[in-house]
């Protein structure tokens, strides 16, 4: 069944949703299921086109800290889920110290978001006994992945259903018109022409930067809008990387930190995170840690199964290039049965990926070196007023201003990441659970964190929620201050980023918004 033709743009709609990423799809489906006439506009097609310079054209003032916009998102059905990591997990209760909503407010909506994503929201389990003795940190919360990460594929049948919302591809929103404190029309480019789409309500679900651009364009045309609000101010991301390995006191405890199936094709992985008391007492950036596979090329891991996989790869390349084979052969000789099991598992994962187009999660972890496993981190970035998004003086090919992104990672969060490692190391030792091996001195670790400190994939802040229009851009119901029928559902409304990947919460807010809009129309 084909998607809606461009002629649908002239129809009569209750709600126009802009952007067909996970938030836009979830919001549009829910509104349609509640009896609303819905138009969903997507600037791209069914699959991303490399580059897309016009849709996300921008000037990066500090490119060392922000990835290029043509690789951080996707204009297509399913949006950035075409290449996201798939991690689903809720915020921690301590994160809501900066939010006008509470953890209890969000809890039911995270469950609904996880159902849309095909994953799980709050997933917890008992850690190994030594890790249960941690005081400043805990190891009970998981991150989860569903079996299908691409929402365009997951919801393909629903997208193409004849009785669903109208979905028009190649329909790029280039502006919003307003009068009498409401949006009167959405200016849409489709092909070579421009149309004005009309609906009772308009929902912006086109990503953090996409939402900010449309609001900044609206403010440019009507300077009185958001005149006192922090529009574009406090843009945030996350810090991620690795500066340590973890040596558990009991090596078998590592199995509890590997990916594991939890039913319905969902996989979970345990995280270490500071307790709320630790975050507040230490004035710490919220942060999470997890164990990750070491480099199979390096025989220092001492793993027979990892060396077997490496040797198989080298044989497939007819032995060209790579590490000397002797140490890997010695690893295999010490534990031939483990090597055979690891090789069989690798063959299965490769075959499954080729047949299903997905990458099953490995349920064992390769050490970084004997007795030590790589420790990765994911940390929040506090809001800084000098991290901001504005409109540039340069323009794209259709005459719209590019975005100007003034974004840096700052000393507060960089030092905070290293401090969190020191706190975790002390807590592990006190509990008898293990110890960390940092990659160098304090200053060397700070330099490593700084070198890895960049984002752009998690586009948070700049249009934060709150009830005071002088300190926020949208209400707690996600209505844009000063406009009765304009709403925003993206990471731009986040007052803080927490340690969690944001997609689950973005979709939760989108589903919450759909229920609110439908109730208003009842």
User: 173-224: per-residue pLDDT in tens?
Assistant: 999 999 989 999 999 998 878 999 999 999 999 999 999 999 999 999 999 8
With CA atoms as reference, report the closest residue to 25 among 204, 131, 115, 159.
159
Identify the pLDDT of residue 191. Answer: 82
Identify the pLDDT of residue 434. Answer: 98
| Cβ–Cβ < 8 Å for 310, 326 | no
Residue 160 has pLDDT above 60, yes or no: yes
User: 385-418: per-residue pLDDT in tens?
Assistant: 999 999 999 998 788 999 999 999 999 999 999 9
Beta pairing, strands 137-138 & 142-145 = unpaired
Q: Give dist(CA 248, CA 264) in Å, integer.
A: 31
With CA atoms as reference, report the closest residue to 202 among 44, 463, 6, 14.
14
Looking at residues 436-448, what average pLDDT do you find? 98
Q: Give dist(CA 387, CA 379) in Å, integer.
A: 17
Looking at residues 467-493, what average pLDDT do you find? 97
What are the residue ranges spanned by the domains of the chain? 1-59+73-85+149-236+385-407+460-522, 87-148+238-294+365-380+410-453, 300-356
Residue 234 has pLDDT above 80, yes or no: yes
For residue 511, what pLDDT band results from cuts at 50, 70 and 90?
A: very high
Residue 343 has pLDDT above 60, yes or no: no
Cα Rg, the chain, nearest whole Å: 24
Looking at residues 234-257, what average pLDDT do you find? 97
User: 252-290: per-residue pLDDT in tens?
Assistant: 999 999 999 999 999 999 999 999 999 999 999 999 999
Looking at residues 21-30, what average pLDDT do you find? 98
438: helix, strand or coil: strand
Residue 363 has pLDDT above 90, yes or no: no
Identify the pLDDT of residue 266. Answer: 96
Superfamily of domain 1-59+73-85+149-236+385-407+460-522: FAD/NAD(P)-binding domain (3.50.50.60)
The CB density around residue 366, as the number of other CB atoms within 10 Å, is 22
User: 94-107: per-residue pLDDT in tens?
Assistant: 999 999 999 999 99
Cα 480–481–486 angle (5° rounding)?
A: 30
User: 113-154: per-residue pLDDT in tens?
Assistant: 999 999 999 999 999 999 999 999 999 999 999 999 999 999
As a whole-number percent, the residues of the chain with pLDDT over 90 amount to: 76
> pLDDT averaged over the chain?
88
As a whole-number percent, the residues of the chain with pLDDT over 70 amount to: 85
User: 305-319: per-residue pLDDT in tens?
Assistant: 444 443 444 444 444
For residue 356, what pLDDT band results from cuts at 50, 70 and 90?
A: very low
Q: Give dist(CA 90, CA 65) in Å, integer.
A: 26
For residue 172, what pLDDT band results from cuts at 50, 70 and 90?
A: very high
């Amino acid at each position: 069944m084909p998607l809606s033709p461009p002629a649908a743009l002239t129809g009569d709609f209750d709600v126009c949703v802009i952007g067909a990423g996970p938030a836009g799809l979830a919001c549009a489906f829910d509104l349609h299921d509640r009896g609303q006439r819905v138009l969903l506009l997507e600037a791209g097609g069914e699959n991303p086109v490399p580059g897309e310079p016009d849709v996300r054209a921008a000037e990066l003032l500090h490119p060392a800290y922000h990835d290029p916009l043509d690789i951080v998102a996707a204009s297509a059905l399913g949006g950035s889920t075409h290449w996201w990591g798939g991690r689903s997990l809720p915020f921690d209760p301590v994160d809501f110290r900066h939010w006008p909503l509470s953890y209890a407010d969000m809890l039911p909506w995270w469950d609904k978001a996880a159902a849309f994503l095909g994953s799980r929201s709050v997933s917890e389990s008992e850690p190994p006994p030594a890790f249960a003795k941690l005081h400043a940190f805990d190891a009970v919360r998981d991150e989860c992945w569903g079996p299908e990460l691409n929402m365009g594929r997951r919801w393909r049948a629903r997208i193409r259903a004849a009785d669903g919302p109208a979905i028009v591809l190649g329909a790029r929103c280039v502006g919003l018109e307003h009068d009498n404190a409401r949006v009167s029309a959405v200016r849409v480019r489709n092909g070579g022409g421009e149309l004005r789409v009309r609906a009772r309500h308009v929902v912006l679900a086109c990503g953090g930067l996409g939402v900010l651009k449309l609001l900044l364009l609206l403010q440019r045309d009507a300077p009185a809008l958001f005149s006192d609000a922090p529009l574009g101010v406090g843009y945030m991301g996350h810090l991620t990387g690795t500066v340590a390995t973890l040596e558990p006191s009991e090596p078998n405890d590592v199995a509890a930190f590997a990916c594991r199936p939890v039913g319905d094709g969902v996989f979970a992985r345990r995280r270490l995170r500071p307790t709320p008391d630790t975050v507040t007492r230490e004035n710490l950036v919220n942060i999470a840690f997890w164990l990750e596979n070491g480099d199979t090329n390096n025989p220092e891991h001492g793993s027979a199964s990892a060396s077997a996989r490496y040797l198989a790869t080298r044989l497939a390349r007819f032995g060209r290039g790579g590490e000397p084979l002797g140490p890997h052969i010695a690893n295999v000789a010490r534990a031939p049965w483990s090597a055979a099991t690891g090789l069989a598992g690798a063959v299965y994962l490769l075959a499954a990926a080729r047949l299903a187009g997905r990458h099953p999660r490995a349920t064992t972890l390769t050490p970084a070196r004997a007795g030590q496993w790589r420790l990765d981190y994911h940390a929040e970035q506090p809001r800084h007023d000098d991290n901001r998004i504005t409109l540039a003086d340069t323009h794209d090919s259709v005459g719209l201003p590019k975005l100007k992104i003034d974004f840096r990672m700052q000393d507060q969060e960089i030092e905070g990441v290293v401090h969190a490692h020191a706190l975790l190391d002390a807590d592990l030792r006190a509990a008898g659970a293990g110890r960390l091996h940092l990659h160098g001195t304090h200053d060397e670790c700070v330099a490593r964190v700084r070198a890895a400190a960049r984002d752009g994939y998690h586009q948070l802040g700049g249009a934060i929620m709150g009830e005071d229009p002088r300190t926020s851009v949208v209400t707690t119901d996600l209505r844009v201050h000063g406009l009765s029928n304009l709403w925003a559902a993206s990471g731009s409304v986040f007052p803080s980023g927490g340690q969690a990947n944001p997609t689950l919460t973005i979709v939760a807010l989108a589903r919450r918004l759909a229920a609110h809009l439908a109730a208003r129309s009842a």
